[in-house]
Chains A and B, each alone.
Chain A
Amino acid sequence: MIVNIKPSPPMIFGAGASWRTGMVARGLGIRKALCIYDQGMKDTGIAGRIVENLKAAGIQVVCYEGVQPDPPDYIIHEAATFANEENIDGIIGVGGGSVMDAAKAVNILTTNPFPITKYFDLGVVQKPGKVLILIPTTAGTGSEVTEFAIVTDTLNNKKVATLGPPTIANQAIIDPELLLGMPASLTAACGMDAFAHAAEALTSSGMNPLSDALAQKAISLIVDNLPAAVKDNNDITALTNMSFAATIAGTAFNSTVTHIGHAMAHTIGAFYHIPHGVGCALALPAVMEFVADTVPEKVRQIGAAMGLSLDKGMAHAELGLAVADAIREFLRKIGIPTLEELSVQREMMALLVPAVMSDMSSYFSPKWGSAEQVYYLMDNMYKY
């Protein structure tokens, strides 16, 4: 099989790496930067430190502080208008997935015509934007290394992705110290987003051997470090390993694209406002059972990466169940709530099936299920 593998941006990784932001920005030719973040990053003081670091390197900085989760299109337009008025030549995004996606989308509009809705989904060619540096503060969405930016199309009330090679950052700076003190539930949710990225990358119909290698490593790191990071948000070793896992999981799915687990998470998230990572976590065991008959060797690899001993003679259904149950146990360990606890009624699953099947992520499932099969998949989330 002939596969497509996409490039990743250069990465600087390690505790304290964000101290190099100013130096790196200057080296990439940035003289006036837009620093883009949200209220949360302002409140923690992280944004302020990055801005000071940039200024100390002789770079002029203007700030946009108003990013919201699943950034609405009008936020992108507001920020890009500001950036263009200020004539910036570089953008630094510091924050979680929503901030980094906003930074990518804003960057498109510094050299391509408005509105951002022109660049949704497939195929519209974009010119490269200004120099873009992304600094994640969660572990994480992997957005710092991918060519996707999720934006909310407020006219049609749906989330869509702008995507394409020009969307990707010029430089990623991953500093585990920025995760210190993160609340446990956020650490758990973000960590499971990364786990889902890795597991879905391994089983996606866009799979490739490089993504496979990275994804397996990501899963091992997450299984070994996420419980510790949830327990103690000052455990720098655990946070370092989680940061690395999230970034390489992002690199993996950048080429493969995620699939039906993410389609389920998007749908449940849209209807019930469940955090993305929680939706991904709850979908993942069901997805393992769903795809075990189609990609059993990959499900086995996921199990092995988790440290499970799986008998060579296991039937596919057994294999899927074993890996799914191991994930369910892991979710309990790190405190992911159940759908009942989140007040998501089981009877609603049937009504959500069409939305899941029309989410383009589901197209990358290794197995294209009928509506009935997808219903059972959705209902299976309640087995947790």
Chain B
Amino acid sequence: MFRILKVDAGAKTLVEEELNSAYREYGGRGLIAKIMLAEVNPACDPLGAENKLIICTGLLAGTSVPMAHRLSVGGKSPLTGGIKEANVGGTAATALSRHGIKMIVLEGLPKSEEWHFVRVARDGSAELVAADEYAGLNNYQLHGKLKERYGDDISVISIGTAGERQYKNSTLQVTDASSGHPSRAAARGGLGAVMGSKKIKAIVIEKSEARQAFPYADKDLFEKAKKALVQRTLDNPLSHGLMEVGTAATTNVSGVTGMLPVRNFSGTFFDKLDSVSAEAFMQRLQVGGGRNKEGCQAGCIIKCSNTINDAEGNYITSGFEYETIALCGPNCDIGDFDAIARIDRLCDDFGIDTMETGCTIAVCMEAGKIPWGDSEAAIGLIREMMEGTEFGMLLGQGTEAAGKALGVSRIPTVKGQSMAAYDPRNLKGTGLTYATSPMGADHTAGLTLLPGVDHASKTAQVAISSQLQAISAVADCVMCLFGWFTAATAPEITPDLFAGALGGEWTFLRVYGIGAETIMMEKAFNTAAGFTADSDRLPGFFYTDRSAVTGSTFDFSPEEIAQVLNF
């Protein structure tokens, strides 16, 4: 289970190795942090020879526990200048695990202009394949051509032309299990650009002839824990909204509490809330035979995702999620699912982060570059990025670069990355996560939307953000966050899952420690990369401008912020 593929982009070689035994207790985000801290110069140029792009699976990959096959993509981010892990669903982690491949590392920098892709064949052998004919293709067309060549059952990790052009908002896209399309995004932090800098267009994984068996330490113990966890997950009320609707259900909560970002985080109510509610989503879903309850990875038991069609039943997009809906919707004063779905498709195809893109469009609207709510003009900006016009290339540098160039004073970024779809004044714990996470303004790093808490109040938020960041970091090493919601609150089950799979003595504290250690490694990298306590701040306007929904500002002092992640 510990095969690794190392690509030297300069020498154009691919070698296979076994994962260093010192790294075997790490997976996903933790493995990335361990390697980055040990092997990559924190001061390096993210688009240069010293940066690595690390693609790896989680600690329980290859086992039968549901949702354990998320893929982690990491390196030094061209957008933030710090360490970055982008976590994505889809079929790739499952396909790699079948081959017994733990990790693929792209290193070095090409000396010539040729493009390549990595191919893992059915028999498990791996090679670099010349890919110049695929350069210049965007993800949908690329995946189609690769399927023609290698068969329908391949899994593909790829960059669009955004990554080829090394845009700082560029993604890696992964094949979605349900739709078969490249709609799962390793989106945040511009890692597509790192892949593009190494002139690797894609990783193509053919389905392994035989499945590599996982070396369970105690299979009976594992199976017992897995069964209990599955039942607990299905019974957990927190799973139900995701199962019935999907992440789009979140607008019903965020829209009435001031968390939903509206017109570049203006902190007001959205006047078209009914058009982006969970109910409106379910209605739109039915048009043209769209579907939800789709899993992005095989074996998922929550199946929170979806496919959106047009009125004639033609596919528009899949993986149409809350963050995209909110940041490309109400944050841009757009209340039209059709337009937002088209934006989602364009972003996935071109290979740019819908979240960064939504925030970038909104600052352009604030600058008066295009009108608020004008979805055609918003799509026009995306087309400029795709065409690579001068303005498009600027937009491809992300929200902060675009906002500064346009003279916008309200730019919602931290450490250069745009915020997620939660206004930090009204979900204060997540505001603290934005400020302190080594990932930059990131919500999956520590989303604090727990029931029964006054989220516009400072009370307990430092503790809540700290604990949730640690727990979420474990998720990024092990399983989909939505499955982890349950596993993290089942201390009588979860340690046995680890003990049964990996062996050794496991307690809940040891599990939690995976997250704390990961974050501490990331902080060490970022400090060496030049980040200081002053980077742990939100943009000034959140401290001074009260949200009209709650009357709250983000009123945390630097001393209070310094207590977060104070492990």
Contacts and interface: CB of A to CB of B under 8 A. Distances in A.
A299 B460 CA distance: 19
B457 A2 contact: yes
Interface string B545-567: 00000111001000000011011
Contacts of A206: 457, 459-460
Interface string B139-172: 0000000000000000000000000000000000
A342 interface: no
B22 interface: no
A348 interface: no
B452 A122 contact: yes
Contact of A156 (B456, B491, B552): B491
Interface in A1-25: 1-4
Contacts of B456: 2
B563 A368 contact: yes
A364 B460 contact: yes
Interface string A156-195: 1000000110000000000000000000000000000000
A287 to B, nearest CB: 15
Interface in B384-433: none
Interface residues of B, number: 27
For the residues of B in contact with A, the DSSP-based class is loop
In this complex, the member of B460, B466, B552, B555 whose beta carbon has the largest number of chain A beta carbons within 10 angstroms is B460
A363 interface: yes
B18 interface: no
Given A156-B491, A205-B459, A206-B460, A354 B454 contact: no
B460 A370 contact: no
B466 A368 contact: yes
Interface string A323-353: 0000000000000000000000000000000
Interface string A365-384: 10111110100000000000
Interface string A181-220: 0000000000000000000000011100000000000000
For the residues of A in contact with B, the DSSP-based class is loop
Nearest to B566: A370
A298 to B, nearest CB: 14
Interface residues of A, number: 28
Given A206-B459, A206-B460, A364-B459, A2 B552 contact: yes
A201 to B, nearest CB: 12
B459 A368 contact: no
Interface string B515-551: 0000000000000000000000000000000000011
Contacts of B466: 368
Contacts of B450: 122-123
A108 B450 CA distance: 22
19 contacts: A2-B456, A2-B457, A2-B550, A2-B551, A4-B457, A121-B452, A122-B451, A123-B450, A123-B451, A124-B237, A204-B459, A206-B460, A354-B509, A362-B463, A364-B459, A367-B563, A368-B466, A368-B566, A370-B567
Please give me the 8 A-B residue pairs with the lowest Cβ-Cβ distance, nearest first: A123-B451, A122-B452, A363-B463, A123-B452, A363-B460, A206-B459, A368-B563, A370-B566
Interface of B: 237, 450-454, 456-460, 462-464, 466-467, 491-492, 509, 550-552, 555, 563-564, 566-567
